[in-house]
A and B are shown apart, each in its own frame.
Chain A
Amino acid sequence: MAKVTFRTDLCKGCGLCVSACPKGILAIDAEQINKKGYSPAVMTDQEQCIGCAFCATMCPDCIITVEK
């Protein structure tokens, strides 16, 4: 199983990872607000993650670490 971790405090909520995810399991969590004042991206279903790192490839702020 793959694992994706976000440095949530640095997320600017641009959503490029959300649209890049082939499994559609990332989302912008409108309930949360991080230190920078943005609603960050979150993983909604870790079990389905295939560790393709597409999200990290498109993340402009380099906040995503992918393990597999």
Chain B
Amino acid sequence: MAIVFEKPKALTDTVLHYCPGCPHGIIHRLVAEAIDELGIEGKTIGVAPVGCAVMAYDYFACDMIEAAHGRAPAVATGIKRCRPDNVVFTYQGDGDLASIGMAETVHAAARNENITVIFVNNAIYGMTGGQMAPTSLPGQVTQTSPYGRDVNHCGWPIKVCEMLSTLEGPEYITRVAVNNVKNVNSAKKAIKKAFQNQIEGKGFSLVEVVSACPTNWGMTPQKALEWVQSDMLPYYPIGVYKDRTAAKEAEGK
């Protein structure tokens, strides 16, 4: 019998600290599978965020650096410019990338830095106990919006992919989800493409992964994935928001 599925080599044997049913584990695996399939484990440098994924440096077998809150794209910029032959990726949550790190993210995209950004959007601050995030949905109940997010008071959730795709800079901006097998498989393709773009020197690639937080949403893991489908995906539709190479090819035809 041949093995059709096993743990990728780019993940270490460290036990993940995530809550039961947390899709962070799935997304870690997809990144590790992309690293394995492209054969770049030896020259990949990851930048871990602040948030639930802060201990990602224990889980990936490649070299890892921990950045200050939100500054992963800035740190990755430095690494990539010093070591252009290495593959540099950041792994960030919505509280990290879309809140305190928004400036770094937008400017790294505007400069078209040749890095790969994995952005995990679960519409809440997970590690600190479920506070409202810039991506929390209108009406969503969190620790700091117990009557639901009031858009007149707190503003509207930020759609990162739509916003970044208006910039001239970035090469590839896409949104995927990990709420079912089909979406996980497309997420894997998008993440692999984001790494491939960097290897080919095309520039800034960001993959937003719509994820879940069963613990802080107060749901079972199954119910949380259903909520992703019923509530999150209508507000954050999956799709490719910018793909410069594909657009150029389409123009050429």
Flag if B16 contacts A60 (CB, 8 Å). Answer: yes
Interface centre among A15, A20, A51, A62 (most CB of B within 10 A): A62
The answer, yes or no, to whether B11 is at the interface (CB within 8 Å) is yes
Flag if A14 contacts B21 (CB, 8 Å). Answer: yes
User: Nearest chain-A residue to B59 (Cβ)?
Assistant: A62
Contact of A57 among B11, B18, B185, B220 (CB under 8 A): B185
Docked CA distance A2–B6 (Å):
14
Flag if B4 contacts A60 (CB, 8 Å). Answer: no
Total count of chain A residues near the partner, CB < 8 A: 26
Contacts of A67 in B (CB 8 A): 1-4
Docked CA distance A10–B18 (Å):
12
The answer, yes or no, to whether A29 is at the interface (CB within 8 Å) is no
Flag if A58 contacts B222 (CB, 8 Å). Answer: no
Mark B53-72 against chain A: 1 for CB-CB distance below 8 A, else 0: 00000000000000000000
Contacts of B153 in A (CB 8 A): none
Docked CA distance A58–B6 (Å):
12
User: Nearest chain-A residue to B1 (Cβ)?
Assistant: A67
Docked CA distance A10–B59 (Å):
14
Docked CA distance A67–B20 (Å):
25
> With A62-B11, A65-B6 in contact, do A14 and B20 touch (Cβ < 8 Å)?
yes
User: Shortest Cβ distance from B206 into chain A, in angstroms?
Assistant: 22
Flag if A66 contacts B4 (CB, 8 Å). Answer: yes
Docked CA distance A55–B195 (Å):
26
Flag if A57 contacts B23 (CB, 8 Å). Answer: no
Flag if B3 contacts A66 (CB, 8 Å). Answer: yes
- Among the stretches B24-32, B103-111, B134-142, B234-242, the one at the interface with A is B24-32
User: Nearest chain-B residue to A9 (Cβ)?
Assistant: B15
The answer, yes or no, to whether A43 is at the interface (CB within 8 Å) is no
**Chain B residues at the A interface, C-beta cutoff of 8 Å:** 1-8, 11, 15-16, 18-26, 29, 180-181, 184-185, 214, 220-222, 225
Leading 4 A-B pairs by shortest Cβ distance: A60-B25, A14-B21, A12-B20, A14-B20
Besides A51-B4, A60-B26, 18 other A-B contacts (C-beta < 8 A)? A2-B1, A14-B20, A14-B214, A15-B222, A16-B21, A54-B181, A56-B5, A57-B181, A58-B184, A59-B25, A60-B16, A60-B23, A61-B18, A62-B7, A66-B3, A67-B1, A68-B2, A68-B4
